[in-house]
Amino acid sequence: MTKYKRINEGIWADFGKNLLKNKGSDKQIQFLQVCNNGKDDFLNYLQENLLNNQDAIIGGKDIFFNHKFTEAEFRFPPMDTQQEIWQVFAKIGREYAGYCGFWAYIIIQMIKHNCITPDYLASELNGTYKTGVYMLDNAINSNDSKTIDDCVRRILRSMCNPAPRGKRIVFNDFYLGKVYWRWHWAHKMFDKIGLSFEEILKILDEKGYAEFSSKMHSQQSYISQKNTLGGLLLFLKENPLSAKNMGKVIDTITYLSVWKAIEIQSPELNKQEIKRIFDDL
């Protein structure tokens, strides 16, 4: 298997944890300020506080994602950009796509080569779009420790650092990783169950995928079996669910899979099984 360059997972996690130790601290404000100052200051900060550790970088092949993002495009990539992301990263193994340190290295290289600017990392979309420059200025000039800490957490999530929410961040919160994994599951399944690739992406839309991925990449691993996942996708095609109900259905599938051979039934039979599960909720 080809090895790719990445940041050591433990060192990358410790970097984030150290920034989150004290809300509103001088360390957090300094981090926000260098992010606001631009590429050179931000990369110098990372070099001094992360990359100068001789064990920080695990060697391997470089992947350079040469795409100049707008800020909004980075925050919520449109379909053509999603396709480009997939084409670049589809060749890597699933193991690497699950490493926070792999994606962190990609983001640093994107900043280095002017594909994004550091302030993009602070942008927010929570009801209304707020630019990274606005979010940074607001936090730096705030006396509220939570506002400062929230902005630091946003930047760390945008760099695929696990400190804010654990390693699942690569599947749920990190933009490039979220695109990769949605497209991975769609490619894995579209020729197995009679649904098109586009239909599966539509089923796993922004809201649906958030609930799906939080279960898929946790202890709820039974749905990763092709026949089980196929049945779920066939059911969701005909019965769109709220995120809450999707979570309940997936939890029940996992429970039943302990003592019923759901994973060896056909996707079509599992669709009917899942329908019975939903009707009994």
Look up the domain containing 159 and give its range.
6-167
* Together in a domain, 234 and 116: no
Cβ proximity of 60 and 143 under 8 Å: no
* Together in a domain, 27 and 153: yes
Which own/partner pairs from 156-161 qualify as long-range (CB within 8 Å, at least 24 positions apart)?
156/16, 156/19, 156/20, 158/107, 158/120, 158/121, 158/122, 158/123, 159/103, 159/104, 159/107, 159/108, 159/121, 160/100, 160/103, 160/104, 160/107, 161/12, 161/13, 161/15, 161/16, 161/100, 161/104
In a domain, 174, yes or no: no
* Together in a domain, 138 and 254: no
* Together in a domain, 144 and 17: yes
- Out of 23-27, 206-210, 213-217, 231-235, the most confident range is 23-27
Q: What does the pLDDT read at residue 6?
A: 96
In a domain, 1, yes or no: no
* Together in a domain, 36 and 116: yes
Question: By percentage, how much of the chain surpasses pLDDT 90?
Answer: 51
* Together in a domain, 138 and 205: no
* Together in a domain, 141 and 41: yes
* Together in a domain, 107 and 14: yes
* Together in a domain, 133 and 232: no
Which two tokens mark 11? 């060192």
Q: What does the pLDDT read at residue 216?
A: 67
Cα–Cα distance between 69 and 50 in angstroms, integer?
Answer: 25
Cα–Cα distance between 13 and 36 in angstroms, integer?
Answer: 22
Q: What is the pLDDT of residues 55-67, one digit of tens each?
A: 999 999 999 888 9
Q: Maximum CA pair distance of the chain?
A: 58
Cα–Cα distance between 143 and 212 in angstroms, integer?
Answer: 38
Residue 6: which H helix or E strand, with range?
A: strand 6-7
Number of H helices, E strands in the chain: 16, 4
Q: Does residue 109 or residue 250 have the better pLDDT?
A: 109
How far CA 117 is from CA of 40, 42, 112, 122, 146, in Å, comes to 10, 10, 9, 10, 24
Cα–Cα distance between 101 and 5 in angstroms, integer?
Answer: 9
* Together in a domain, 163 and 225: no
In a domain, 94, yes or no: yes
pTM of the model: 0.87
Position 152 pLDDT exceeds 60: yes
Q: How many residues can be counted in the chain?
A: 281
Q: Can you name the residues that pair with 103 across neighbouring β-strands?
A: none
Q: What does the pLDDT read at residue 44?
A: 98
In a domain, 61, yes or no: yes
How many structural domains are present in the chain? 2
Residue where one domain finishes, among candidates 132, 152, 167: 167
In a domain, 181, yes or no: no
Cα–Cα distance between 270 and 229 in angstroms, integer?
Answer: 9
Position 73 pLDDT exceeds 60: yes
Q: What does the pLDDT read at residue 123?
A: 93
In a domain, 244, yes or no: yes
* Together in a domain, 40 and 153: yes
CA-nearest of 63, 42, 59, 48 to 7 is 59
Q: What does the pLDDT read at residue 28?
A: 98
Position 141 pLDDT exceeds 70: yes
* Together in a domain, 58 and 155: yes
Q: What does the pLDDT read at residue 121?
A: 97
In a domain, 172, yes or no: no
In a domain, 148, yes or no: yes
